[in-house]
Amino acid sequence: MKFLSQIPKKNLSGKTVLLRLDLNIQDNELKNSLRLKRSAATIIYLLSNKCSVVILSHKGRPSLAKQGISKSKFLITNKELSLKKISGKLSNIIGQKITFFDSFDFKKTKENILKHPLGEVFMLENLRFNKGEESNSVSFAKKLSSLGDVYINDAFAVSHRSNASVDAITEFLPSYAGLELESEIEAFKKVIGNPPKPLVLVIGGVKISDKIGVIKKFIGKAEWILTGGGVANTFFAAKGIPVGKSVFDKNSLGLAKKWISNKKIVLPDDVIVDGGEILDIGPKTVAHYTKIISSAKTFIWNGPMGMIENAKYQSGTIGLVKAMARSKDFSIVGGGETTSLILNKNLQSNVSFLSVGGGAMLEYLSGKKLPGLEALMRNKKSL
Ligand code: 3PG
């Protein structure tokens, strides 16, 4: 794989860079978003190297949104899934105007870009408003590629998707991993393979089905798998413990029953219940998990311990972040909600590396090949 950080400055200077970012950010995470911060750092790096930058990104899954269902080539745009607001946010962070294109008229867009002097930043509307993005259409990728001289993937969080702006686009341009993506790859190297032991994995969030691959991969090599959120609720249900109205994953009950006798899987000792729903882990669990985390040399965490979008149910997750300050070696935490809570509470120094990846982190840890990374590895063109 080739990296942006290795491109000689003289080769980069004067180029129009197509920069794939993951700006799929919930409104409530915008204030303190890791994805925005890391994206801004790469844009600033490119501008300081005298490039123009054309940002490519997506938001949500418009093909699934009711308003988005259309038989026409271009899906009906949906205001909530527009990237316009995020482009404003990003522009404030980089301290520079971002010209936003809300249509996919590539000829006009290209003409517009060429009219501007070098060193400007542009952004295309949510690429998933176009059907070709999610179908990894080669012709859509070719049109995208016509807007720049070089392609940079700086979107680890969407690299598990075989989308046109992540995968097929690399057929047309010299393609590199950006600064953010490079830092993710370096961080994951430290936990994949044979990391220092004890190895502790924390798995929370809503759906156990998304985490099965990681649990399977780590059940042999982790000393402990601590559970919270809907994942823990699924194990409770599998044990026959009533979970009331709590979120749990019915489809994963069979697997949960199979794993439940494994001593490495730790369930909460106590939980916070409100209105018949389990909404956080309790103080005894935080104390118990803290003890285990303190002994860890390698620590991996994906998915919050409770319904952290409500400040009332953040104590469990915050408690574990505080515990991490005591863990000795290397820790990695991923997922938009958990990382934005860590940034909001200014606890980032407790963690060695915050990953922007949610689903991508899970797939990477479970040993799957990510199409975005594979595409970069296949690309042989250089600047
Ligand atoms: C994410 O937020 O995990 C990525 O942007 C991928 O989004 P997706 O699951 O809708 O493809």
- 62 in contact with ligand 1, CB cutoff 6 A: no
Q: Is the CB of 158 under 6 A from ligand 1?
A: yes
Pair 146, 111: CB distance under 8 Å: no
pLDDT at 78 over 90: no
Query: Is 70 exceeded by the pLDDT of residue 75?
Result: no
Identify the burial level of 263 via C-beta atoms within 10 angstroms of its C-beta, where 0-12 means exposed, 13-18 middle and 19 or more buried: exposed
Q: In this structure, how many other beta carbons lie within 10 angstroms of the beta carbon of residue 350? A: 18
Q: Which atom of ligand 1 is nearest to the CA of 24?
A: 5
Which residues pair with residue 55 across a beta bridge? 19, 123
Catalytic residue among 60, 119, 213, 359: 359
Q: Is the pLDDT of residue 337 over 90?
A: no
Q: Is the pLDDT of residue 68 over 70?
A: no
Average pLDDT of the residues in 349-368: 95
Q: Which residues contact 254 (CB under 8 A, 6 or more apart)?
A: none
What does the block give as tokens for 277? Answer: 């729903």
Residue 128, Cβ density class (10 Å: 0-12 exposed, 13-18 middle, ≥19 buried) = buried
Q: How far is CA 229 from the centre of its chain?
A: 19
282 C-alpha to ligand 1 centroid (Å):
30
**Looking at the predicted structure, is the pLDDT value of residue 76 above 60?**
no
Model pLDDT, residue 301: 96
Q: Which residues pair with 224 in a beta bridge?
A: 200
Q: What pLDDT digit, counting tens, does each position of 87-140 carry?
A: 999 999 999 999 999 989 999 999 999 999 999 999 999 999 999 999 999 999
Looking from the CA of residue 61, the nearest atom of ligand 1 is: 10
Tell me, yes or no, if 326 is annotated catalytic: no
pLDDT at 66 over 60: no
* Distance in Å, CA 174 to ligand 1 centroid: 25
Distance 117 CA to ligand 1 centre (A): 33
Q: Is pLDDT above 60 for 73?
A: no
> Lowest mean pLDDT: which of 61-65, 209-213, 238-242, 255-259?
61-65
Residue 356 CB less than 6 A away from ligand 1:
no
Active site residue 303: no
- Report the predicted TM-score, pTM, of the whole model to 2 decimal places: 0.92
358 lines ligand 1 (CB under 6 A): yes
Residue 244 catalytic? no
Biggest CA–CA distance in the chain, Å, is 66
Helix (H, G, I), strand (E, B) or coil at 55: strand
Whose Cα sits closest to atom 2 in ligand 1?
24
Catalytic annotation, pick one of 35, 143, 161, 211: 35
**DSSP secondary structure of 224-289:** EEEE-HHHHHHHHHHHT---TT----GGGHHHHHHHTT-TTEE--S-EEEETTEEEEE-HHHHHHH
For residue 198, count other CB atoms closer than 10 A to its CB: 18
Instruction: Say if ligand 1 is within 6 A of residue 265 CB.
Output: no
- Asked about 207 being catalytic, the answer comes back as yes
Cα–Cα dist 145/166, whole Å: 11
**What does the pLDDT read at residue 238?**
94
Taking 50 as the threshold, does the pLDDT of residue 239 lie above it?
Answer: yes
Query: Which among 290, 275, 341 is positioned nearest to 314, based on CA atoms?
Result: 341
pLDDT over 90 percentage in the chain: 86
For residue 211 and ligand 1, the question of a CB distance below 6 A is answered with no
Mutating to test ligand 1, I would choose from 158, 206, 370 the residue with most ligand atoms within 8 A of its C-beta, which is 158
DSSP letter string, 62-89:
TTTSGGG--SSSBPPP-GGG-SHHHHHH
| Whether the CB of 22 sits within 6 Å of ligand 1 | yes
210 in contact with ligand 1, CB cutoff 6 A: no
Q: Is the pLDDT score of 350 beyond 80?
A: yes
Q: d(Cα 117, Cα 114) in Å, to the nearest integer?
A: 7
Q: Which of 23, 36, 4 is nearest to 354 (CA)?
A: 36
Check pocket membership of 65 for ligand 1, CB cut-off 6 A.
no
pLDDT band at 300 (very low <50, low <70, confident <90, very high): very high
Least confident of 75-84, 167-176, 325-334, 348-357: 75-84
Identify the active-site residue in 303, 336, 358, 372: 336
Distance CA(377)–CA(371), nearest Å, equals: 10
Output the CA 356–ligand 1 centroid distance in Å: 11
| Dihedral sign computed on CA atoms, order 173, 174, 180, 181 | positive
pLDDT of residue 65: 54
In sequence order, what DSSP letters do the residues of 100-124 get, joined into one string? EE-S--HHHHHHHHHHSPSS-EEEE
Q: Is 61 in the pocket of ligand 1 (CB under 6 A)?
A: yes
pLDDT, the chain, mean? 93
For each of the domains in the chain, give its residue range(s) and CATH number, in order of start.
4-180 (3.40.50.1260), 190-366 (3.40.50.1260)
Which of 211, 202, 171, 310 has the alpha carbon at shortest distance from 266?
202
Å from CA of 288 to ligand 1 middle: 33
